Amino acid sequence: MTRPLARVGLPGASSRNGVTCPYCFASAAPQRIPFRCRGQAGGTLGCAPVLDERLAAYTGSTAGASLPPVFAAAGRKGRADCPACGRPTGNRVCPECHNPLPSAYCDSPGRIVALVGAKNAGKSTYIAVLLHELMNRVGTELDASLVACDDRTIERYKRDFARPLLEERRLLPTTASAATGPREPLVYLLTRTRRGRFARARNDSLALVLFDTAGEDLRSREVTDLHLRYLEAADAIIFLVDPLELPGARGELSRGGEVSRGGDPPSPDPDSEPLNVIARVTEALRQRHGTRPGDPLPVPVAVALTKIDVLRPSLLRQSALHRTRSGTGVLDLDDRDAVDAQVRALLHDWRSGQLDTYLGQQYADHALFGLSALGGVPEAGRVGAGGVRPHRAEDPLLWLLYRFGLLDGVRPGGT
């Protein structure tokens, strides 16, 4: 059913003592992370830019790779003086690929969230909408900032995600295969300020590393090692499932849902079946964790049914999925349980209970979600008339924040 993955011999990838680079997934001991001179930023007389060959090799282009030099130094409190110009800097970079490593990330490493799903599951749309929600409504609610870690992420988010979908309301083009498409992830740092019991504010950070990769690519030999390393390095997974791909779900579609499929036959490719995609990811994770096949993996997995707007209204009425999330700045655990139970019931009704069973066997902790990134059925390649109106898109991330101790859980029912 699943095919064995080529073993990726990346020294250090399995070590969790160091900082894992969210770009190339190399691991470095915190004291061995080099610095980049601040150069002439802020009108100081620092070093002039030079071509950074490691960064150019990573991005595959010399554009944007002329930067002040990188130097190794022990540093003190995350700062060091450039040996060439003497100016202090706090900018740190990955020793392998020279991409920036934000200091908040170096201080609290080990929280890489990976997003996975078969082709057409709704990944690109979800990335566009989730990031927008985090930068706006949800970010405000959580007292959290979402900051791109590099300029390429800012540009690509605008050009490939936000502008077409959110401004021009066009559906996003199908993601190119990893063999030809962009091989770089979008990298963000989500930082949340929390006030502790003794009123001391503390910032906690999480790296959101989003590869817009088709799950099918994971099977093929031409896929870059990078994608396997990505999965191996993940500390949490958001797994997106298109309910229209589940065998028993078709009867539950509202008419609009059927129209939106455009009469497409279901995908004949067994590699894009949700269970097979998650099984390939599971194998990659096992490589890193070195667990025995019978032992559950410690990585939390959020499994979300996307496009729930296509389900018949009668199915959603009075359901937990249909409600809007309650609570602000906290995770409502009663609501979480209700949604989890409802999605589990749907999976079983749709002859997809195996997916739930498999996850329960393989992972110590998995949670089920239902969401809609668009909030309505698209028509003729465009977002529906009401615009993009996400429903519960942030839920999987809130749960992961809760699991990482960045968000409190409450039971309004009081149990």
Ligand X SMILES: Nc1nc2c(ncn2[C@@H]2O[C@H](COP(=O)(O)OP(=O)(O)O)[C@@H](O)[C@H]2O)c(=O)[nH]1
* Two tokens, residue 65: 């790779």
Decide if residue 175 touches Mg ion (CB under 5 A): yes
Position 123 contacts ligand X (CB under 6 A): yes
Subset of residues 191 to 220 that bind ligand X, contact rule: CB under 6 A: none
Q: Dmax over Cα atoms in the chain, in whole Å?
A: 69
Other Cβ atoms within 10 Å of 55 Cβ, number: 24
In this chain, which of 374, 383, 397, 398 binds ligand X, going by CB under 6 A?
374
Show the site string, 57-96: x = touches Zn ion by CB under 5 A, - = not: -------------------------x-xx--------x-x
Q: What is the DSSP string of 88-124?
A: EE--BB-TTT--B--HHHHHS---EEEEEE-TTSSHH
> Please, which residues have CB within 8 angstroms of residue 250's CB and are 6 or more apart in sequence?
244
Contacts of 267 (CB under 8 A, 6+ apart): 118, 119, 120, 245
d(CA 40, CA 48): 7
Q: Pick from 89, 124, 319, 362 the residue near Mg ion by CB under 5 A.
A: 124
- Please, what is the angle between helix 225-233 and helix 274-289, to 10°? 70
Q: For every residue of 20-72, which 3-state class applies, written as one string? A: ECCCCCCEECHHHCCEECCCCHHHCCCCCCEECHHHHHHHCCCCCCEECCEEC
One-letter amino acid identity for 302?
A
Question: Is 114 an interacting residue with respect to ligand X (CB under 6 A)?
Answer: no
Q: Please state the closest distance from residue 86 (CB atom) to Zn ion, in A.
A: 7
Determine the size of the site formed for Mg ion (CB under 5 A).
Answer: 3
Binding range to ligand X, per CB under 6 A, among 123-131, 142-150, 178-186, 273-281: 123-131
Least distance to Mg ion from the beta carbon of 38, Å?
37
- Which listed option, ligand X, Mg ion, Zn ion, none, makes contact with residue 377 (CB within 5 to 8 Å by class)? ligand X
The residue type found at 227 is H
Which residues pair with residue 201 across a beta bridge?
A: 195
Query: What is the rounded CA–CA span in Å between residue 340 and residue 368?
Result: 5
* Token pair recorded at residue 287: 């490589």
Residue number with CB closer to ligand X (160 or 204) = 160
Asked if 282 touches ligand X (CB under 6 A), the answer is no
Among the residue ranges 24-32, 45-53, 114-122, 290-298, the one whose residues contact ligand X (CB under 6 A): 114-122
Q: In angstroms, what is the minimal distance from the CB of 180 to ligand X? A: 15
Question: Which ranges constitute the DSSP H helices of 312-394?
Answer: 313-316, 333-349, 353-362
- Name the minimum Å distance from CB 388 to ligand X: 9
**If binding is defined by CB under 5 A, does position 213 make contact with Mg ion?**
no
Q: Of 302, 377, 401, 406, which lies in the binding site for ligand X, with binding defined by CB under 6 A?
A: 377
In terms of DSSP bridges, do strands 409-410 and 331-332 run parallel, antiparallel, or are they unpaired? parallel
**Binding ligand X by CB under 6 A: which of 120, 272, 287, 362?**
120
User: Is 252 a binder of ligand X (CB under 6 A)?
Assistant: no
Query: Of Zn ion, ligand X, Mg ion, none, which one sits near residue 321, judging by CB under 5 to 8 A according to partner kind?
Result: none
Number of residues that bind ligand X (CB under 6 A): 22
Q: CA of 125: how far to CAs of 170, 250, 259, 371, in Å? A: 10, 22, 19, 12
| Site mask for ligand X (CB under 6 A), range 291-330, x = bound | ---------------xx-xx--------------------
Distance from C-alpha of 243 to C-alpha of 223, rounded to nearest angstrom: 26
Pick between residue 82 and residue 209 the one whose CB is nearest to ligand X: 209
**Chain residues that interact with ligand X, rule: CB under 6 A:** 117, 119-125, 171-172, 174-175, 260, 306-307, 309-310, 372-374, 377-378
Which positions touch Zn ion (CB under 5 A)? 21, 23-24, 37, 46-47, 82, 84-85, 94, 96-97
Which residues contact Mg ion (rule: CB under 5 A)? 123-124, 175
